[in-house]
Structure 1
Amino acid sequence: MTVHFHEEDLAADVVFDGPVAVDTETMGLITHRDRLCVVQISDGKGDEHLVRFGPDSTYDAPNLKAVLGDPDRLKLYHFARFDLAAIEHYMGVMAGPVFCTKIASKLVRTYTDRHGLKNLIDELLNENISKQQQSSDWGGPVLSDAQREYAASDVRYLHRLREELVRRLEREGRMEMAQACFDFLPTRARLDLAGWPDRDIFSHE
């Protein structure tokens, strides 16, 4: 298992096989204000790739964009709504099609309100990850070893989580509902970017 670090784009010789797990690190939670700093990506084969963008980046990353924008390659996320919006806003790519482990968890783990990635990995995979670096400064000139390991761990387990969550969705007869939610996520992200982040446009209000 190796964590590979790249500046501004994936290396041209990086090739992924099948679905890829994707995550982002930003300066904060307001997409228009808080710039995209890191994109993590892995095909679940044992290596993770971190692509760091500097404060003056133009996000001209053709190799990474080719993977993210591939309409035939499934992307796995935990809370895809946020990552999709950040990637589209800064990189101009809608990185679907989507499987979101957070939504899948909410549809099948109805016995709990603990749907964080750490909770899922602990319960479903019997593994433990640290979230200590979650709120650290991702825009600095150097990423610490702890930050790199944290970022890599956010994509390291998503393939295995998907397998278990699909099994449970099928068991409970909710796979079709889940897929409809995943298909809507790009539109949900675009609604966030367009100014409807906190209102349910389907409500009567």
Structure 2
Amino acid sequence: MKDLLRFETIDSAAGLRQMINRYRDVPSVALDIETASNYGFGAWKGAIRLIQIGVDDPEVGREQAVIDCFRVNPAPLMGFLGDPDRQAVIHHSPFEIEWFAFHHGLMLPNTLDTCIAWKEIHKARLKADPEYGKRPATLTAVCDELFGSGLAKEEQASYWGRRDLLPSQIEYAALDVAILHPVARETARIAEELGLQEQIASSCDSVRTRISGSLKRLSKDRARKDDSGRLQMAIEHARSVGELDRIWTASRQVALHHAARERLADVMRERRGELASARSAAA
């Protein structure tokens, strides 16, 4: 599987702009995230550490970008991912959809979930042949069934909140998106043979509807329990622009609802203005 790897780590605003520009005409990207949390898996319990983008395109070629959200603000990427004409290929999309919606206010508009596709294929095969047996739908299990080789998952449960990620963690993250387009092509071929394309597309769409409804209920409660109160206090007591910048960078490393982030951005602008006025008065 490692022969699919051709990745770069993006940790600067300039690098992110270049990546978005390079992939601007690509109609389909593989998408995955790695999250940093010490106490659970819900989007309200942690921060997005990595966003992985994979392309497998005749013009661009096959390559992957691993974006370190603790080092670069991923906000410019939301417009790219929010383009309804660009499909995001994901394995188990409820996870990514929930985290992007909670943290960035982005409901991914066009997704193909290879986990859903595989479950529908498995269901059809099992119906046709009860002896086919139950099969897991994890990405490594699907790869093993389709290609005869699974994925190494040793880094899946590793600590993603560390200041400097290990090279093995970055490689693991890149491989998860490197394999998704081959999986999508193979599942699409099997789905066409079984006449499952419309059913799979409908199931993928229903995930967004379900997540959207649950987040509306969840956000009323969880948005009041994130880290915005402590961050606002730190912003209001910051004594320099440099300190403000450090606080804003740190805000990407904690659980923070997108509405709270927008509110804190206003508080940041107000505090910057106050510090600028104080400097002018002292000059």
TM (norm. structure 1) is 0.86
The counterpart of 1:11, out of the listed 3, 11, 16, is 16
Q: 1:130 to 1:189 in 2, by over 3 A?
A: same
Residue 92 (structure 1) aligns with:
105
State the 1:60 CA deviation. 5.1
The counterpart of 1:130, out of the listed 121, 145, 152, is 152
Secondary structure of the corresponding residue to residue 209 of structure 2: helix
- Aligned equivalents of 2:179, 2:74: Cα separation in 1: 28
Larger Rg: 2
- Aligned equivalents of 2:51, 2:169: Cα separation in 1: 13
- Aligned equivalents of 1:47, 1:136: Cα separation in 2: 24
Residue 52 (structure 2) aligns with:
40
State the 1:141 CA deviation. 0.8
State the 1:91 CA deviation. 1.8
Residue 199 (structure 1) aligns with:
none
State the 1:113 CA deviation. 3.0
Residue 51 (structure 1) aligns with:
67
Deviations 1:73-116 (A, max 9, x none): 01100000110110121122222301001100100023433110
Conservation of the 8 A alpha-carbon contact between 1:24 and 1:38: yes
State the 1:70 CA deviation. 0.8
Q: 1:158 to 1:60 in 2, by over 3 A?
A: closer
The counterpart of 1:186, out of the listed 190, 197, 208, is 208
TM (norm. structure 2) is 0.63
Residue 69 (structure 1) aligns with:
82
Q: 1:60 to 1:108 in 2, by over 3 A?
A: closer
Conservation of the 8 A alpha-carbon contact between 1:40 and 1:151: yes
When structure 1 is superposed on structure 2, of 71-80 and 2-11 the one drifting more is 2-11
Matches within 5 A, 1:123-162: 123-162=145-184
Secondary structure of the corresponding residue to residue 11 of structure 1: helix
The unaligned stretches of length 5 or more in structure 2 are: 124-132, 219-283
- Aligned equivalents of 1:5, 1:119: Cα separation in 2: 27
Conservation of the 8 A alpha-carbon contact between 2:94 and 2:211: yes
Q: Is 1:115 the counterpart of 2:115 in the alignment? A: no
When structure 1 is superposed on structure 2, of 162-171 and 5-14 the one drifting more is 5-14
- Aligned equivalents of 1:51, 1:112: Cα separation in 2: 36
Conservation of the 8 A alpha-carbon contact between 1:27 and 1:35: yes
- Aligned equivalents of 1:33, 1:186: Cα separation in 2: 20
Deviations 1:9-60 (A, max 9, x none): 55212222220000011124111112111110011232111111229x8x55
Residue 280 (structure 2) aligns with:
none
Residue 93 (structure 2) aligns with:
80
Identity of aligned residues (%): 27
AA in 1 matched with 2:42: I
AA in 1 matched with 2:50: V
- Aligned equivalents of 2:91, 2:70: Cα separation in 1: 24
Conservation of the 8 A alpha-carbon contact between 2:27 and 2:85: no
- Aligned equivalents of 1:46, 1:126: Cα separation in 2: 21
AA in 2 matched with 1:66: G
